[in-house]
Each structure stands twice: as C-alpha cells, then as structure tokens.
Amino acid sequence: MAKKVRRQNVRVGGFSAVKWGTPTGDLYYRTMEASWPAFVAWVSVVFLALNLLFGAIYASLPGAIVNMPPGSILYGFFFSVETLGTVGYGNMAPMTPLGHFVAGLEILGGLFFSATMTGLIFARFARPRTSLIFSKCAVIGRYEGKPALMIRMASTRRHPLADASAQMAWLKRTELPNGGVARRLVDLQLLRSHNPMLGLAWTLTHVLEDESEFLAALTSTRPFSLTVTVSGLDTLLATQSIGGQFYRREDILIDHDFVDVISDVEGVVHLDLAHFHEARPLEGDALQQQAAIL
C-alpha cells in the first residue's frame, strides 16, 4: 500500500500555497496554531477519552472501589474524573490493592495531563500578538520632489514599541530559459528603517529612482506583490510585537498621498485613526511634477 503524502496549506503573503511531503508535524506547534474553539474541543476529547478508559478499568474490577455499583462504567467515569482532578469527595475510594494501584497510575497520569494543559494554555495566552495596523493601501506620491512609495502604519497600544525596525520588499518573477519561473524577494531601501521609539504612526518611505525596476513591474501586466513587516519590543510586556501587510497591484495608488491624521491641539499631539486608511489624489503643481518625473 502506497504511503499517503501529507499535504500542508500555507499562506505566503497574500497567496495560498501548498506543501507536499512535509513531516508528520509538531504537536505543540499544531496546538498553538489551532483556534481557541478547536483547542478546547481537543482538550475535552482527550479528557473524556482518558476518563472513559479508566472508568472502564474500574468497572471491570469488582469490589475495587467502595460504594461503586459493580460493572458501572458511569460511576467508574465519575470516580476517574474525581481522581484525575484530585478532588476526592470521599463517597467512593479504592478498596483493594489493585484499585489503589490503578488509582495511583491515574493520579500520575493526571499530573502530566494537568501540567501539560496548564503549560499549553499559558503559552497560548503569552504568545506575542501584533499591536500594529497598516494602511489598506500604499501610495506613490512625492517626497522632496521625487516620486516615492509610501506605506503608513501605527501602533494601537498605549505603551510604545522600542527599537522598531521595518522591511519592505517586492516579489520579482523571472522567466528562465527552460520555461520555468524564478521567484525572489527584492528589498526596497527605506529612508528610515529603524525607529527607536514608536508610539504613534510611522510612514515607511522608499524613494523611486529613475528607471525603477519596481515601478516597471508595478505598471506591467505580470503578477505583482509587495510585502512590509515591522517588529519591535513592547515596553509594557517586554515581548516582541510583529506585524506585516501584503499589497497587490490594485492596492497601490499612483499619484496619491495619504490624508494627514496627526494634528497638534493645544500642545497635545492627536492621531486620528478614523482616517488612517484614506488617501487623496495629488493636485495642481504637485501632480504635474509627479507626472513629469514618472
């Protein structure tokens, strides 16, 4: 019988991909990536199966448990639950050496089960979560008279991110002589890729040079994608916060600029996230200057 090849669905940027022939997998990683409903369901199934197993064993040992009806899997199940949870109400208890031996094995297994579930639950709550939002669109506007690709991002938490760093890259596809396609990420140099203290918003800017390969790919008909990632240290939780965004060709607006969302009111800086994703077309001289450059 042929061995079944394992299939794994993954997300690469905004595209779906499939991996074939991957190893069986890491159980810890699978429990971490599962949704909370799936995780709770999985723990519940394991809990029920474990107690049903020991309940059946207790039911098959007549007289081993005091006050338990002979052959009752239901009473054996409840006694197993009490033993596994170290509750011990007292109305049922091991009566024979064999009963004590089986209860001891279950208590030992319960220690491992409880410790494992506690660790998994803590790990799920403690894992880093992104506190970053990115503009739904990227724009090609102007920066000091030059065309520039700009993406806006902001931190949504009260405490700032320390030592934030950003990367921007686009996926270049090259047709090979043998008919295949080579794919590689091409980094886009940012005017500022490091932010020592990110508290409000940050506009990531890449100045487009003359005959930019990125701009040529953007205006062509070939598949196109742009990715950006930002990471930093949460100054409250002392954990890493990582976020990213994927942009398709239709998400990049040419001859546009972001609507200003930062204002100063009586010496207090305000960030208006209600207009965070809005962009407006360039107007007047700025548009003519942009068109001449492009």
**Do residues 88 and 172 share a domain?**
no
**Do residues 155 and 120 share a domain?**
no
Between 145-154, 170-179, 209-218, the lowest mean confidence (pLDDT) is in 170-179
Report if residue 218 sits inside a domain: yes
Q: What is the pLDDT of residue 205?
A: 96
Q: Please, what is the average pLDDT of the chain?
A: 86
pLDDT above 90: percentage of residues in the chain: 49
- Print the SS3 string covering 161-227: EEEEEEEEEEEEEEECCCCCEEEEEEECCCCCCEEEEECCEEEEEEECCCCCHHHHHHCCCCCCEEE
Report the C-alpha gap between 154 and 205 in whole angstroms: 14
Task: Give the end of a domain, one of 82, 110, 126.
Answer: 126
Q: What is the pLDDT of residue 237?
A: 83
Q: Can you give the CATH number for the domain in which 288 is found?
A: 2.60.40.1400
pLDDT band at 148 (very low <50, low <70, confident <90, very high): very high
**Mean pLDDT comparison of 92-96, 128-132, 290-294, highest-scoring range:** 92-96
pLDDT at 93 over 80: yes
**In contact, 30 and 17? CB cutoff 8 Å:** no
Q: Select the more confidently predicted residue: 37 or 288.
A: 37
Number of domains making up the chain: 2
**Do residues 220 and 269 share a domain?**
yes
**Do residues 212 and 270 share a domain?**
yes
The residue whose two tokens read 């450059």 is 293
Task: Give the end of a domain, one of 75, 98, 126.
Answer: 126
pLDDT at 15 over 70: no
Q: What is the pLDDT of residue 180?
A: 77
**Do residues 159 and 72 share a domain?**
no
Q: What is the pLDDT of residue 1?
A: 46
pLDDT band at 154 (very low <50, low <70, confident <90, very high): very high
**In contact, 64 and 92? CB cutoff 8 Å:** no
pLDDT above 70: percentage of residues in the chain: 89
Mean pLDDT for 256-267 is 89
Report if residue 1 sits inside a domain: no
Find the helix packing angle between 97-126 and 73-84, rounded to 10°.
60
Mean pLDDT for 116-128 is 88
